[in-house]
Structure 1
Amino acid sequence: MQERKGVVAMKGNPLTLVGPELKVGDKAPDFAVVDTAMAPKSLKDYAGKIKVLSVTPSLDTPVCDLQATWFNEDAAELGDVYVLNVSMDLPFALKRYCAAKGFDKVATLSDHREASFGTAYGVLIKELRLLARAVFVVDRDDVIRYVEVVPEATDSIDYDKLLEAVKALA
């Protein structure tokens, strides 16, 4: 498996990402994750839809919470778009988190079993077995139209650029 060193850092400490560097125009790879009910989910479950893949290290941290909350509150503004938040959090923790927050617009998915999403999208942090903060916008034909892998894991994604990319597809 390909490893890329120094692409991301945590509090300034360089880390290693496992998997390929995906670019705009690449075909979105499939993945195997589970939802909060432990049901298997993959890219195919969202076929024919615009997808925003919001990737967070853990929803139990302030920046990840902010990212997921932003998507849940602003998902209606995105139009006919599926927002999927993928993390290594356990499905039970995700279910508890969503219930406490009243989330109903973001599908929270766990990559904890196989790290299938992390390795397919090149965002698995080898040293931590967490996912790097990132966002991918995938069109109806499963082609990647926007990629942002945040260099410092404790920083936020660029919400303005993301909105611009999604609106260009709607």
Structure 2
Amino acid sequence: MQERSNEVTLQGAPITLLGPRLQPGDKAPVFTARVGLEDVSSERWAGRLRLISSVPSLDTPVCAKQATRFNETLSDRDVAVLVVSQDLPFAQTRFREVTGIKNVTFLSDYKDNDFGYKYGVYIKEHGLDHRAVFVVDKDDVIRYVEYVPELTDHPNYEAAMAAVNALL
């Protein structure tokens, strides 16, 4: 497994990401995660424009804002919004119910870290997925990538939305 050090930080301290650093133009890796207690393949969204938002835990303010912001800004567009975290499916369901989010599919990567490893966001030191955003076109090609440099910072929402809008 490829280890990438000194690319991102947590409160200023370097952390190690496992997996490849994906780039625009790469084929989007197929991954499996859980929706509730069901294993689901990302192939379910093949042929659709999608924004994949990776967060460490929905129980933190920045992660919660990231999920709600993409829910709000993409609710009127034909875009599959996938939020992936290491949270258990039960916690994701609770978060959805508390926030009233309706336009996002929450995917749990807790079982085998398949998304984290294939998208290069799995944090070796903490067993969480790093904050990142990927925009994947209808042909399963990655068109936008942001590995947020500091885990506790917000992603560049405007850049991600510009990437989505360019593909609509």
Same fold (TM over 0.5): yes
For residue 57 of structure 1, give the secondary structure of its aligned residue in structure 2: coil
Matched, 1:86 2:70: no
Say which of 87, 94, 97 aligns to 2:95: 97
Partner AA of 1:145 in structure 2: R
Matched, 1:141 2:139: yes
TM-superposed CA distance for 1:20, in Å, is 0.4
Say which of 111, 115, 131 aligns to 2:129: 131
Partner of 1:62: 61
Q: Deviations over 1:74-118 (max 9, x none)?
A: 2224x1100000000000000111011111101111000000000
Partner of 2:31: 31
RMSD over aligned Cα atoms: 0.7
Matched, 1:48 2:47: yes
Tell me, in whole angstroms, the C-alpha distance in 2 between the residues paired with 1:99 and 1:150.
Answer: 27
Partner of 1:16: 16
Tell me, in whole angstroms, the C-alpha distance in 1 between the residues paired with 2:16 and 2:75.
Answer: 35
Tell me, in whole angstroms, the C-alpha distance in 2 between the residues paired with 1:96 and 1:161.
Answer: 29
For residue 23 of structure 2, give the secondary structure of its aligned residue in structure 1: coil
- Give the unaligned 5+ runs of structure 1: none
Q: Deviations over 1:39-71 (max 9, x none)?
A: 222220001100100000100001000100101
Runs (4+) of structure 1 moved beyond 3 Å?
Answer: none
For residue 6 of structure 2, give the secondary structure of its aligned residue in structure 1: strand
For residue 4 of structure 2, give the secondary structure of its aligned residue in structure 1: strand
Partner of 2:149: 151
Equivalences, count: 168
Tell me, in whole angstroms, the C-alpha distance in 2 between the residues paired with 1:41 and 1:152.
Answer: 29
For residue 40 of structure 1, give the secondary structure of its aligned residue in structure 2: strand
Q: 1:102-121 maps to which residues of 2 (within 5 A)?
A: 102-121=100-119
TM-superposed CA distance for 1:38, in Å, is 1.4
Tell me, in whole angstroms, the C-alpha distance in 1 between the residues paired with 2:37 and 2:50.
Answer: 21
Tell me, in whole angstroms, the C-alpha distance in 2 between the residues paired with 1:39 and 1:139.
Answer: 25
Q: Deviations over 1:115-154 (max 9, x none)?
A: 0000000000000010110000000010000000001000
- Give the unaligned 5+ runs of structure 2: none
